[in-house]
């Protein structure tokens, strides 16, 4: 990606400042801060910055990487044969630390406040890397035991986070530097919702959500560049920076960190580069649950984003397994905050929202947009809130349900019919009519292979079922004027 600023006063080369998009309602886009900085500096309990390493000759062995947070969680390697290399001339002219993918790694001997934060299971970790070329599940940072202990990983094909045997995967590493990480929370985040909440982060936005907090370290040795005594999961690529905060960062704070990284490493955010950003929100089906045994490219969000030509870093997934529409309303402000932070990078970014939430709320009466407590009313409430909270020019595409294995019938039929007849009243600009596809309608294919069952529930689709759903969504979006 070209190395330019965001075009609104950083003094970097790039496009001129653009006027905010206001068509379609929404709040005015914010005036961006002239000097982005890392958020929550007082909450950082570990900070490994390659630019802060005392300069040494290019391509020489690095014996130690000090933690500059003040917590004393310094990383070191006494064995010269296993020391990574200090390199100059990286992104933005900054130095980086190169790991060979064989045995290079650093050990954190006295993690102190870092381990305390990770074992509290309420923290945020972000890493800035480049050129991940090793095998998948290559450990950037963490315990990296291949099981329940937390570790951040990246390979040539997939990148993500593993903890409690739960992987959050993103397909491909993308171009230029990448920011990836995790937000883990042990405590109540949503009213009446699961008290554990884990979010995988990519390029400053939530990519995937889970209802599990990250696992504790289990007393294992924290490492940079490998796991399991340094003999397994070796990372191959460049590491510029690793930060850990002792609390969860908000989506707006995550985007603030990303704005700082983009300026520091002289690189624009992908959404700035491409001028658009896609938000996918809803329940576990929207998150792609069902094809989770496949490679990350098998997930519904990847299929949709790829089909709509949204490259990695220009879309996020806020969908959460098990969430209901009322809980979706409670967390929806996170999307607004992330969208507004992106608008702070460039007010001209076009925001697009793909929305689905039905299967956890199917016990509600369909009702109508005037009857409180009904599915129609709450859906309209959610969409109105997003319309008001996100930047102007927002376009929203909704999805009708699939067959749902005959559960609560005729509720899926009734909801699909209501959406078809009242799309505009609900607040949707367009409707991806999944109900009218091969996976919709009474007693349709989700009751049996090849589209389901995945968990024998007739709801969570296989990769083949997600192909059908993605195709419907892509076609509907492409047919919507202004999408």
**Whole-number pLDDT of residue 8:** 23
Q: Checking DSSP bridges between strand 178-186 and strand 196-202, what pairing results, if any?
A: antiparallel
Instruction: With beta carbons less than 8 A apart as the criterion, state whether 459 and 289 touch.
Output: no
Domain residues of the chain, as ranges?
1-14+21-39+249-483, 43-192+213-248
**Whole-number pLDDT of residue 408:** 63
**Whole-number pLDDT of residue 192:** 64
Which of 193-197, 296-300, 341-345, 350-354 has the lowest average pLDDT?
A: 193-197
Instruction: With beta carbons less than 8 A apart as the criterion, state whether 259 and 251 touch.
Output: no
Distance CA 16, CA 10 (A): 11
- Percentage of the chain modeled with pLDDT above 90: 63
**Whole-number pLDDT of residue 43:** 98
The tokens for 466 are: 């997600």
Burial 159-198 (b: 16+ CB within 10 A, else e): bbbbbbebbbbbbbbbebbbbbbbbbbbeebbeebbebbb
Tell me the fold of 43-192+213-248. Answer: Jelly Rolls (2.60.120)
**Whole-number pLDDT of residue 10:** 23
Q: What is the mean pLDDT of residues 180-208?
A: 82
Q: What is the mean pLDDT of residues 316-334?
A: 89
Greatest CA separation for the chain? 71
Distance CA 61, CA 364 (A): 62
Predicted confidence band of residue 409 (pLDDT cuts 50, 70, 90): low
φ, ψ (nearest 5 deg) of residue 98: -100, 130
Q: Where is pLDDT greater, at 27 or 22?
A: 27
**Cβ-Cβ contacts under 8 Å for 359 (sequence gap 6 or more):** 283, 285, 401, 404, 459
Predicted confidence band of residue 60 (pLDDT cuts 50, 70, 90): very high
Q: What is the mean pLDDT of residues 135-142?
A: 90
Q: What is the mean pLDDT of residues 280-303?
A: 83
When the pLDDT of each residue in the chain is averaged and rounded to a whole number, the result is 87
Q: What is the mean pLDDT of residues 307-328?
A: 91
Vertex 329: Cα angle to 325 and 332 (nearest 5): 125
Look at the block and give the residue holding tokens 């492409």: 478
Q: What is the mean pLDDT of residues 228-255?
A: 94
Instruction: With beta carbons less than 8 A apart as the criterion, state whether 71 and 112 touch.
Output: yes
Distance CA 402, CA 433 (A): 9
**Whole-number pLDDT of residue 298:** 82
The tokens for 465 are: 């079922």
Sign of CA dihedral 214, 218, 224, 230: negative
The tokens for 225 are: 């560049």
Q: What is the mean pLDDT of residues 442-459?
A: 79
Q: Where is pLDDT greater, at 342 or 1?
A: 342
Instruction: With beta carbons less than 8 A apart as the criterion, state whether 189 and 212 touch.
Output: no
Distance CA 461, CA 450 (A): 9
The tokens for 373 are: 């407590």
Distance CA 112, CA 90 (A): 31
At residue 222, does pLDDT exceed 60?
yes
**CA proximity to 111, closest of 84, 146, 143, 151:** 143
Q: What is the mean pLDDT of residues 113-124?
A: 96
Instruction: With beta carbons less than 8 A apart as the criterion, state whether 122 and 187 touch.
Output: yes
Vertex 245: Cα angle to 93 and 65 (nearest 5): 45
**Whole-number pLDDT of residue 370:** 97
**Whole-number pLDDT of residue 435:** 94
Which of 31-35, 429-433, 448-452 has the lowest average pLDDT?
A: 31-35
Q: What is the mean pLDDT of residues 346-370?
A: 94
Q: Where is pLDDT greater, at 87 or 210?
A: 87
Which residues lie across from 281 on neighbouring strands? 355
Instruction: With beta carbons less than 8 A apart as the criterion, state whether 28 and 37 touch.
Output: no
pLDDT tens readout for residues 75-100: 999 999 999 999 999 999 999 999 99
By 3-state DSSP, what share of the chain in percent is helix, strand and coil, each rounded to 5? 25, 25, 50
Predicted confidence band of residue 2 (pLDDT cuts 50, 70, 90): very low
**Whole-number pLDDT of residue 145:** 81
Which of 41-55, 155-169, 377-391, 419-433 has the lowest average pLDDT?
A: 155-169
Predicted confidence band of residue 196 (pLDDT cuts 50, 70, 90): confident
**Whole-number pLDDT of residue 449:** 85
CATH top-level class for 1-14+21-39+249-483?
A: alpha beta
Q: Where is pLDDT greater, at 211 or 161?
A: 161
The tokens for 75 are: 């990383």
Instruction: With beta carbons less than 8 A apart as the criterion, state whether 279 and 397 touch.
Output: no
Determine if the peptide bond prior to 450 is cis (ω within 30°). yes
Q: Where is pLDDT greater, at 291 or 324?
A: 324
Q: What is the mean pLDDT of residues 236-259?
A: 96
């Amino acid at each position: 990606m070209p190395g330019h600023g965001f075009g609104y006063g950083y003094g970097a080369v790039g496009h001129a400042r653009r006027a905010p998009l206001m068509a379609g309602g929404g709040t005015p886009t914010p005036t961006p801060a002239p000097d982005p900085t890392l958020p929550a500096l007082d909450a950082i309990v570990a900070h490994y910055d390659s630019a802060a390493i005392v300069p040494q000759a290019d391509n020489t062995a690095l014996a130690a990487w000090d933690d500059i947070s003040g917590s004393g969680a310094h990383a070191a390697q006494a064995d010269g044969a296993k020391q990574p290399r200090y390199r100059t001339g990286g992104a933005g002219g900054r130095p980086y630390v190169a790991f060979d993918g064989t045995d290079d790694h650093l050990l954190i001997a006295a993690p102190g406040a870092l381990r305390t934060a990770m074992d509290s299971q309420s923290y945020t970790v972000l890493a800035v890397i480049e050129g991940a070329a090793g095998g998948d599940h290559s450990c950037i940072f963490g315990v990296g035991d291949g099981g329940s202990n937390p570790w951040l990983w990246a390979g040539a094909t997939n990148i993500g986070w593993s903890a409690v045997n739960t992987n959050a995967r993103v397909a491909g590493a993308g171009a230029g530097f990448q920011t990836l990480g995790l937000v883990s929370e042990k405590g109540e985040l949503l009213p009446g919702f699961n008290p554990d909440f884990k979010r995988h982060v990519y390029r400053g936005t939530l990519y995937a959500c889970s209802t599990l907090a990250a696992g504790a370290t289990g007393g294992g040795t924290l490492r940079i560049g490998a796991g399991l005594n340094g003999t397994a999961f070796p990372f191959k690529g460049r590491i510029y920076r690793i930060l850990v905060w002792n609390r969860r960062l908000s989506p707006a704070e995550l985007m603030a960190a990303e704005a700082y990284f983009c300026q520091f490493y002289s690189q624009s955010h992908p959404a700035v580069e491409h001028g658009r950003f896609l938000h996918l929100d809803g329940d576990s089906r929207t998150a792609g649950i069902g094809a989770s045994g496949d490679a990350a490219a098998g997930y519904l969000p990847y299929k949709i984003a790829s089909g709509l030509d949204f490259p990695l870093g220009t879309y996020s997934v806020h969908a959460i397994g098990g969430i209901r529409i009322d809980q979706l309303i409670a967390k929806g402000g996170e999307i607004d905050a992330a969208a507004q932070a992106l608008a702070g990078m460039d007010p001209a970014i076009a925001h697009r929202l793909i929305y689905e939430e039905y299967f956890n709320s199917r016990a509600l009466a369909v009702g109508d947009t005037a009857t409180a407590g009904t599915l129609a009313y709450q859906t309209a409430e959610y969409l109105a809130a997003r319309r008001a909270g996100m930047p102007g020019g927002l376009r929203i595409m909704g999805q009708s349900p699939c067959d749902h294995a005959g559960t609560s019938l005729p509720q899926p039929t009734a909801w699909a019919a209501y959406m078809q007849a009242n799309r505009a009243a609900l607040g949707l600009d367009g409707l991806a009519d999944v109900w009218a596809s091969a996976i919709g309608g009474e007693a349709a294919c989700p009751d049996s292979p090849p589209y389901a069952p995945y968990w024998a529930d007739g709801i969570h689709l296989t990769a083949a079922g997600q192909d059908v759903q993605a195709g419907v969504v892509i076609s509907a979006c492409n047919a919507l004027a202004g999408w």
